[in-house]
Amino acid sequence: MADSALFPLNDEHKMIRDTARDFAQKEIAPIAAQFDESGEFPLETIRKMGALGFMGLQVPEKYGGAGMDTMSYVLALTEICKADAAHGVVMSVNNSLYCHGILTFGTDEQKEKFVRPIATGKAIGAYSLTEPMSGSDASNMKSRATRDGDFYVLNGRKSWVTSGPVADYFVVFMMTDLEKKAKGISAFLVDGKTPGLTRGKKESKLGIRASATSELIFEDCRVPAANRLGAQGEGFRIAMTVLDVGRIGIGAQALGIAEAAYEASVVYAREREAFGQKIGEFQGIGFKIADMKTRIEASRLLLYNAAMAKDLAKESGERFSLQASIAKLFASETAMFCAHAAVQIHGGLGYSRELPLERYFRDAKITEIYEGTSEIQRLVISRAELGLR
Ligand code: CAA
């Protein structure tokens, strides 16, 4: 299909998309099923993605990154997720939840120390907001950071941390002033080797099984005050600002899964015969193909729109929460729709582990849950439209 008329791609966009596609199909697609089955973290291919610059695509070159725009990021991430969404979420968290926050709110020293190793692919970053009793209601966290001279002492338990078991550095959100609620939260950059920080058991998940997820347990974990990101009490704003970028990434992940499911379905519908004709000639299948394609193209435009809004916001300082939430909501529901349709089109084969359709189906579900459930996206969109925030 021709490129979007509304968002024409420049040569750099096409180059990064084609590089990512080539790498993903050669290096990731052949191992995706094996790592999904074992649940092992694919460190070798993640390191190779780092060497190609995919872990810091938008990080300025002066901090070791590729210095590209958000459209490039969306294009590359979609291609990686088309091959394997588990590799994709590691890339998404590194670029958006981790690097973007430090680049936006950090000091030069923090960028040098905490962004460079991630952007050059030598280390892995993670973001830790959720707690066992506060997921969607993120500001209701209970973990505490108490100032002690030149240090903060961190105590508490964080959950559902993507790359928790393997990350070298974390952006962690903790309460510094319980009475102030959202305005009492602060953000900290924590080296994974800091005494007092332990990683909980690795979660066993329905999908994106090769990405490693765990709890983090903080017991009198002393972090230098110089590692506070932003001002004391600014943490919730940082967490939300960063999630706006993260949601574009998860939208791209969802688009990649949807495209993979769709492309396999088109091939199958053209080849498979039943009742003396190709199954694609039955309207029951043909209309499914039409609905998948329509939703995929709508998701793509919404994502490109959110990517452009984010890049424009660099100058204007305006929030792009609405565009990011709309894109994430629509793309994640499209991923679920397409993966469901693809399994149905393939029948028994779709249900079998011989083909990747059932993996797409399991992987798609998380895009409706993490970095804000579909219900939270609807809340963000409706509040914005009704002028409630
Ligand atoms: N950008 C900047 N500031 C923002 C913001 C944004 N996108 N959203 C809210 N804020 C600010 C508000 O302006 C407000 O500040 P003021 O008081 O100065 O006006 C402050 O933050 C509090 O905002 P709200 O009153 O809207 O906060 P709330 O408690 O009602 O929560 C919410 C809003 C949208 C529900 C939010 O809590 C939310 O997004 N929840 C979902 C959390 C989430 O996505 N968690 C996933 C974690 S990451 C993960 O999934 C794991 C992983 O590793 C991938």
Q: Go through the domains of the chain in sequence order and give each one's CATH number.
A: 11-124 (1.10.540.10), 126-233 (2.40.110.10), 236-386 (1.20.140.10)
- Ligand 1 pocket check for 236: Cβ under 6 Å: yes
The pLDDT tens digits for 323-345 are: 999 999 999 999 999 999 999 99
Mean pLDDT calculated for residue range 147-152: 98
The residues that are catalytic are 371
Within 10 angstroms of residue 43's Cβ, the number of other Cβ atoms is 12
- The protein residue whose alpha carbon is closest to atom 10 in ligand 1 is 237
* 303/114 Cα distance (integer angstroms): 28
pLDDT tops 90 at residue 6: no
Read off the tokens for 109.
Answer: 């020293």
Q: Ligand 1: which of 98, 124, 211, 240 to mutate, judged by most atoms within 8 Å of the beta carbon?
A: 240
SS3 of 38, please? Answer: helix
**Closest C-alpha to 239, from 346, 340, 143, 355:** 143
pLDDT attached to residue 1: 60
d(CA 101, ligand 1 centre) in Å: 14
The pLDDT tens digits for 33-75 are: 999 999 999 999 999 999 999 999 999 999 999 999 999 999 9
SS3 of 135, please? Answer: coil
pLDDT tops 90 at residue 166: yes
Residues 258 and 331: beta-carbon distance below 8 Å: yes
- Ligand 1 pocket check for 321: Cβ under 6 Å: yes
Mean pLDDT calculated for residue range 83-112: 98
- Ligand 1 pocket check for 237: Cβ under 6 Å: yes
- Ligand 1 pocket check for 140: Cβ under 6 Å: no
* 359/334 Cα distance (integer angstroms): 16
The pLDDT tens digits for 254-265 are: 999 999 999 999
The pLDDT tens digits for 7-42 are: 889 999 999 999 999 999 999 999 999 999 999 999
- Ligand 1 pocket check for 92: Cβ under 6 Å: no
The pTM (predicted TM-score) of the whole model is 0.97
Mean pLDDT of the chain: 97
- The protein residue whose alpha carbon is closest to atom 9 in ligand 1 is 240
